[in-house]
Amino acid sequence: MEKLVLNPLIYRKIIFGILLGTTWIVAFFDKQFYVYLLPSVFIFSLAGIPFSYQLFRETFLYITIPFILIFCFILFYLTGNSIVTVFHLEKPVQFILPTYQSITGVGNEEFNLKEIILDRRIVLEEFMKSWDLSYYLQRNLQTREFRILKYVTNLRISWILMSGFLIGIFFKIKKNITLEIDFKHSWKSILYVLSFLIMLGMFFILGKVRTTHHFIFLWVPLLGLLLDNEFKYEYNPFIIGYLFFNLAICSIIIIENRPNYLIKDSYSTIVPYTQKDNPKLQIVNFDGWSYFFNRKLDNPNHHIVTSNDPRNEKQYNRLLNLADSLNIPIIEVSNKEDWGYPQFIKPNEKMDLLRKKGRIVKKINLSENLPIYLISKK
């Protein structure tokens, strides 16, 4: 009797596929928006593989296993209500999470055809705004309502910008077809366009895409199309005009509007106090809108960088216990402007909550906008 012997390389592919699929499952569980991106990501990832049937056969397991895993998990997650326990609240709370309804709105008795159409209309409007790149600055600037530039016909500038971009791509592709460039050389461009269309289709099918910053993901396949091709799309005069016009609009918007009131001082003012260049382990906590993501990414010495508010007592107690177990203080970066809670309080009032816990709180900088404290145990 013959034995079926699998190539060790196949085992490695299976293990890699399972690990990758598990990573995607965790990402989806953490942020359901990833379900909008996955089909497009699959097509986008194929663009990184040279056009070769043999290579596709060799990478088949790498590609299919994680997608089978995530598909099965999403199917299970959507067809059943998941009971989730929220541990980070002051008191653990269990509630049923109807994921299918939260993503699609289907199953809600109050949901009707009129709302479905309205929701997709919002998706269309936000998609159109996304071609005006200045809309991505909304979270960084004080005003939420930008001056909408319009042509004399009352046509939004975003429509003109989109038209210029797509016309440039269209004529370049038309020229390539005329030159009868073979499929092998057009492979990447086709996949990038398909990735873009699939992602846009998912936005319209699933809906619930409310703000412009979600559409920034659409620029990933578009940038791939512009920068990773053999046809030099980026040199098309329509594309160059589009980019320069957007640069001009963004410059005007930045000059005319003040920074968001939550953004205080500059990132450079807090860096020395957060011990970024200190090789010893540090705990740096941000309790306000004050460069948390910047410091978390700018982390050459692998410090523990967190974002917790002292009012979230249970979560903050965990942070204090961690600091005690490591025998190191907490560097607390606060913000003059409070946010995220019904009742706003000042940074010093937050520190009073920690003083009541018997902690020593010492201010280590002079800024009133972004006060920084050193929190240690007695």
Q: What are phi and psi of 252, to 5 degrees?
A: -60, -45
Q: Tell me: do 34 and 136 sit in the same domain.
A: no
Q: Which of 302, 306, 282 is nearest to 292 (CA)?
A: 306
> Which of 79, 99, 131 finishes a domain?
79
Is residue 88 domain-resident?
Answer: no
Question: 233 near 242, Cβ under 8 Å?
Answer: no
Does 175 lie in the same domain as 251? yes
Same domain, yes or no: 130 and 223: yes
The band of 363, judged by pLDDT with boundaries at 50, 70 and 90, is very high
Report H helices in the chain.
Answer: 8-30, 34-46, 53-58, 60-79, 99-104, 113-129, 157-178, 183-206, 219-227, 237-256, 292-297, 313-326, 347-355
Q: Which of 243, 260, 277 is the endpoint of a domain?
A: 260
Residues 2, 132 share a domain: no
- Residue 88, pLDDT above cutoff 80: no
User: Is residue 365 within 8 Å of 271, Cβ to Cβ?
Assistant: no
Say if 235 falls within a structural domain: yes
- pLDDT for residue 233 is more than 90: no
Q: Which residues, including other chains, have CB under 8 Å from residue 323's CB and lie 6 or more apart?
A: 283, 329, 330, 375, 377
96 within domain boundaries: no
- Asked whether residue 213 is domain-assigned, the answer is yes
Please identify which residue in the block is written with the tokens 């269209």.
170
Percent of the chain with pLDDT over 90: 19
Q: Indicate whether 227 and 131 sit together in one domain.
A: yes
**Looking at 29, 55, 79, which one is the last position of a domain?**
79
Q: What is the DSSP string of 235-254?
A: G-HHHHHHHHHHHHHHHHHH
Domain with 4 in it: 1-79
The predicted structure's pLDDT at residue 215: 87
Higher-scoring residue by pLDDT: 59, 259: 259
Yes or no: say if 331 and 281 are a contact pair by the CB < 8 Å rule.
Answer: no
pLDDT tens digits for range 24-62: 888 777 777 777 888 888 888 888 777 666 666 666 667
Q: Quick check: is 357 in a domain?
A: yes
Question: Per residue in 12-28, pLDDT tens?
Answer: 777 888 888 888 888 77
* CA dist., res. 179 & res. 177, Å (int): 5
Q: Which two tokens stand for residue 129?
A: 């705004």
| Residues 236 and 297 grouped into a single domain | no
DSSP state of 273: G
User: Is 141 part of a structural domain of the chain?
Assistant: yes
The count of domains in the chain is 3
Q: What is the rounded distance in angstroms from the CA atom of residue 221 to the CA atom of residue 44? A: 7
Helix axes 183-206, 157-178, angle to 10 degrees: 150
Does 23 lie in the same domain as 153? no
Supply the pTM of this predicted model: 0.65
Instruction: For residue range 296-339, list pLDDT tens digits in order.
Output: 889 999 999 999 899 888 889 989 999 999 999 999 999 888 77
Sequence-separated (6 or more) residues with CB below 8 Å from residue 169: 225, 233, 236, 238, 239
DSSP code at position 19: H
Give the pLDDT score at 2: 46
Residues 117 and 239 in one domain: yes
Q: What is the pLDDT of residue 107?
A: 45
Residue 202 shares a structural domain with residue 327: no
Residues 178 and 298 reside in one and the same domain: no
- Identify the CA nearest to 212 among candidates 259, 144, 297, 311: 144
Same domain as 137, residue 250:
yes
Q: What is d(CA 219, CA 242) in angstroms, rounded to the nearest whole number?
A: 14
Residues 133 and 199 grouped into a single domain: yes
CB proximity list for 77: less than 8 A, separation 6 or greater:
28, 29, 99
Name the pLDDT band for 169 (thresholds 50, 70, 90). Answer: low
Q: Could you tell me if residue 102 is inside a domain?
A: no
